[in-house]
Amino acid sequence: MNRETIVARSTAWKWWITGLLLLATTINYMDRVTLANASVRVTRELDLSNAQYGNLELAFGWAFAVGSLVFGFLADRSRIYFLYPAVLAAWSLMGMAAGWTHGFLGLMVCRTLLGFFEAGHWPCALKTTFALLDEKDRTMGNSVLQSGASIGAIITPQIMKLLMTDQVGSWRTAFLAVGATGLLWVVAWFVCLRPSDLNSAPVTTTKKDTPSLGDIVRSGRFWAVALLVVGAQAVWHIYRVWLMKFLQTGRGYDEKAALNFNSLYYVATDVGCILAGVVSIWLIRRRASSPHNARRIVYAGACLLTSLSVLIPWLDKGWPLLATLLLIGAGALALFPCFYSFVQELSATHVGRLTGLLGLWVWAVTSPMHSFFGMLADRSKSYDLGLVIAGLAPWLGVIALTLLWRKNDSPTSHP
């Protein structure tokens, strides 16, 4: 089927498929955060230390790093129609298998394979929006796609609160139920699409205008973005992984209250993500800022919010602590739309490969922080210092943009 035939598909149908991608992102995050939401139960039942719990996230992260590179290149060389559901089914089965484990080693294997296969979601999803949507619609399509991360993190605590009861089951039941939803998505994928629906749009750039991947990676701009995403990843994932343990073990909230707040926390992250785009547009239209400068301002504003982490050691159980955590969460996810836009500024033709390379880089570099965080928590008997450091980490991106992103350091032929 040629591009003209694909265009004949109704606009409504294309947005329905984008909604299907939102569900895939939702499922991706649901499988990812099951362990964090059940962290106290799992570590107690399996007799794990904080350091061992951190090592589970280390294994997940390093596997995600490898998977980012593998699936980033596979997505450019394979039929997405078959690769995407295969990847989603694989991570769903690993999520279910985690519910059958009875020791640290088995859980480690399942979380490692989960991380590897989950990494395939992003290149496959971005290739899908590229094939289905016109250029003017892709930013909105990718925004819908990204919002599934917060939705998954919002609803998972409520699902687990319902399932982790003596009457219904345990954390194992929750792992099995969440994992099974991915298999239903695979069925929906094959019902809604045909292989010919995903023929890519033609590339409009010429070879003369296209920088090599090597030129981009050697540029200062690439390394500015690489350092920026390290800071963004640090605050986002430290709070994702350790928030439930901090609330229950560090501040004495019961499991039900912690799960309810965890959902509210991710509502705040979604609000922050949306506001990042709104404020950027406002700066461009009202202040005559360039898109690049608007993103810098938004990123710095998000850093101010995450820096409220410095208040945590002085805040005991109560609404001031919870309000502070909500503001930190809003800032944490607001960093990522800026990151994606900076990646797109690097190249219009290597976005998939650059996303894979940056994914490999950031997950490999930041995943050990969970082991360090766990050891720090074990030794200090507190999660406070680690949360403070994570909240300050995004300023690394501000420094990197200032020092490394220069107008005359563009790997492209365009200004």
221-265 per-position pLDDT tens digit: 999 999 999 999 999 989 988 998 899 999 999 988 998 898 899
Q: What is the pLDDT, as a whole number, of residue 390?
A: 95
Which superfamily does 211-409 belong to?
MFS general substrate transporter like domains (1.20.1250.20)
Q: What is the pLDDT, as a whole number, of residue 146?
A: 72
At 347 the three-state DSSP class reads coil
What's the gap between Cα 52 and its chain centre? 23
Mean pLDDT of 179-200: 86
Q: Lowest mean pLDDT of 178-192, 271-285, 295-309, name the range.
A: 271-285
**Does the pLDDT at position 292 exceed 70?**
yes
Closest of 162, 151, 328 to residue 256, by C-alpha? 162
Q: Lowest mean pLDDT of 156-170, 244-258, 264-278, 310-324, name the range.
A: 156-170
Q: Cα-atom radius of gyration of the chain, to the nearest Å?
A: 21
Q: What is the pLDDT, as a whole number, of residue 355?
A: 79
Q: Residues 6 or more apart from 60 whose CB is under 8 A from it?
A: 32, 111, 112, 114, 115, 367
Mean pLDDT of 141-152: 76
**Does the pLDDT at position 204 exceed 70?**
no
**Does the pLDDT at position 72 exceed 90?**
no
Q: What is the pLDDT, as a whole number, of residue 200?
A: 52
What would the two tokens of residue 384 be?
A: 């406070």
Mean pLDDT of 281-298: 80
Q: What is the pLDDT, as a whole number, of residue 368?
A: 84
Q: Does domain 1-200 have CATH number 1.20.1050.10?
A: no
**Does the pLDDT at position 209 exceed 70?**
no
Average pLDDT for the chain: 84
Residue with tokens 């939705």: 151
Q: Lowest mean pLDDT of 2-16, 64-78, 185-199, 325-339, name the range.
A: 2-16
What percentage of the chain exceeds 70 in pLDDT? 87
Mean pLDDT of 193-201: 71
What would the two tokens of residue 325 be?
A: 């955590």
Res. 126 pLDDT band, cuts 50 70 90: confident
Q: What is the pLDDT, as a whole number, of residue 283?
A: 84
Q: Residues 6 or more apart from 95 whose CB is under 8 A from it?
A: 31, 34, 110, 114, 175, 178, 179, 182
Q: Lowest mean pLDDT of 44-48, 170-174, 221-225, 240-244, name the range.
A: 170-174
Alpha-carbon distance of 1 to 171, in angstroms, equals 46
Mean pLDDT of 393-405: 95
> Which segments of the chain belong to CATH 1.20.1250.20?
1-200, 211-409
> Higher confidence at residue 47 or residue 344?
47
Q: Lowest mean pLDDT of 102-106, 144-148, 294-298, name the range.
A: 144-148
> Higher confidence at residue 329 or residue 149?
329
Q: Are 312 and 239 in contact (CB under 8 A)?
A: no
